[in-house]
C-alpha cells in the first residue's frame, strides 16, 4: 500500500489534535477560583475555597459519626469511613476531586462533594445553552 500526500496530511492532523487534547487534559485545573461545595441531605452546609497551597481537613458531622474531607494543593478527597458509616466505602476510593464538575458522593450518608468554578453555573450539563 502506498501512502499519498493527502493521507499523510490527514493522519498528521488527527495526531496533532489528539496530542493537543491530551496536553490540555494534563494541564492543572482551571485558573479561576474553584470552590468545594459540601451538601448533606440536599442542603448546602459549607463552601470551601480550593487554593493551591492550602492543606486542611474538614470534619462533617453525620448521624452515626463524622466524615473527614482532606483538602491539599487545590484538590479534595474523602478519607476512609468506618464500615458502620459507609459499608462499601466507595466515596473514599474515588480519589482526588480537583476540576470543576468533579463529584464525590457518599450515598448511604447523602453527602455530596462537588468542585465548582467561581460560580455554580460553570458546570455544564448535557444540554447546550
Which domain range does residue 80 map to? Answer: 35-119
Q: Please report the sign of the dihedral spanned by the C-alpha atoms of residue 29, residue 52, residue 122, residue 47.
A: positive
Q: Give the model's pLDDT for residue 120.
A: 44
User: Domain total for the chain?
Assistant: 1
Kindly state whether residue 82 falls inside one of the protein's structural domains: yes
**Full-model pTM:** 0.66
Q: What is the full per-residue pLDDT of the chain (129 aa) written as tens digits?
A: 787 888 889 999 999 998 888 776 666 544 568 899 999 999 999 999 888 888 899 999 998 899 999 999 889 999 999 998 889 989 999 999 988 889 999 999 999 999 998 544 444 555 554
Cα 87 versus chain centre, distance: 23
Kindly state whether residue 13 falls inside one of the protein's structural domains: no
Q: Which secondary-structure segment (H or E) carries 90?
A: helix 90-93
Kindly state whether residue 48 falls inside one of the protein's structural domains: yes
Q: Record the cell numbers describing residue 73, joined without a space.
A: 494543593
Q: The domain spanning residue 99 has which CATH number?
A: 2.60.320.10
Residue 35 near residue 116, CB atoms below 8 Å: yes
Q: Give the model's pLDDT for residue 125.
A: 52
Amino acid at each position: 500500500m502506498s501512502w499519498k500526500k493527502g493521507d499523510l496530511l490527514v493522519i498528521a492532523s488527527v495526531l496533532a489534535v489528539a496530542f493537543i487534547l491530551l496536553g490540555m487534559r494534563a494541564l492543572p485545573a482551571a485558573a479561576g477560583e474553584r470552590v468545594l461545595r459540601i451538601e448533606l441531605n440536599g442542603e448546602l452546609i459549607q463552601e470551601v475555597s480550593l487554593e493551591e497551597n492550602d492543606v486542611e481537613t474538614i470534619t462533617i458531622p453525620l448521624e452515626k459519626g463524622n466524615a473527614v474531607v482532606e483538602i491539599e494543593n487545590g484538590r479534595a478527597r474523602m478519607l476512609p469511613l468506618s464500615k458502620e458509616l459507609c459499608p462499601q466505602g466507595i466515596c473514599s476510593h474515588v480519589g482526588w476531586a480537583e476540576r470543576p464538575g468533579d463529584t464525590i458522593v457518599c450515598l448511604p450518608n447523602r453527602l455530596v462533594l462537588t468542585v465548582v468554578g467561581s460560580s455554580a453555573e460553570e458546570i455544564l450539563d448535557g444540554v447546550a445553552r
